[in-house]
Amino acid sequence: MLRLSILLALAVGAYSHLCLINPHQRGSAASINKPGADDCGLTTGPCGGRHGGQPMVAVPSGETVNITFQKNLNHFNAEKPGHFAFAFGTEQKLEAIGMTPDTNTSSPWLYEFPIDVPKVEKRETGVLQVTYVTSNPNAPAVFYQCADVEIIP
């Protein structure tokens, strides 16, 4: 019984998840309201192993927009809290644009974070990356999600 409990604890520990709601993450977002959703457990940088496509949303140049994301499973570490980080650019060159601390919340939990959209003179496409840095030794170090966006002047 102890062996089964340890195995189950390890399996749950491997499933801390991050889902990007708005703008919509690359790929599917199936079952995101169920803690441990597979589409939100991506641990390969920079975009969870998912490749880009057509922009899913257009955002206005130079404006502030809200990013909505979900911590699909809580791995809060009270001794050393993690954080959520935001970057924008291309998959080859992402530049940090913001960060907010992790909090001890139930699973799943929605967050909203404002970001300033870069000013552009002509339409540009880019990648918005959100990462969940757990800082929890019992969980994967980082979870990744990306969305393809178009910035319009």
| Domain that residue 80 falls in | 2-152
Q: Is the pLDDT at 103 greater than 50, yes or no?
A: yes
Q: Give the chain's domain count.
A: 1
> Is residue 72 predicted with pLDDT exceeding 50?
yes
This prediction has a pTM of 0.85
Q: Of 107, 101, 105, nearest to 83 (Cα)?
A: 101
Mean pLDDT of all residues in 91-119: 93
Average pLDDT, the chain: 86
Can you give the CATH number for the domain in which 21 is found? 2.60.40.2550
Burial string for 16-30 (b: 16+ CB within 10 Å, else e) reads bbbbbbebbbbbebe
Judge whether residue 7 has pLDDT over 60.
no
**Of 43, 50, 120, 113, nearest in space to 89 by CA:** 120
The pLDDT > 90 percentage for the chain reads 67
34 exposure class (CB count in 10 Å sphere: 0-12, 13-18, 19+): middle
Is residue 103 a contact partner of residue 76, using CB atoms and an 8 Å limit?
yes
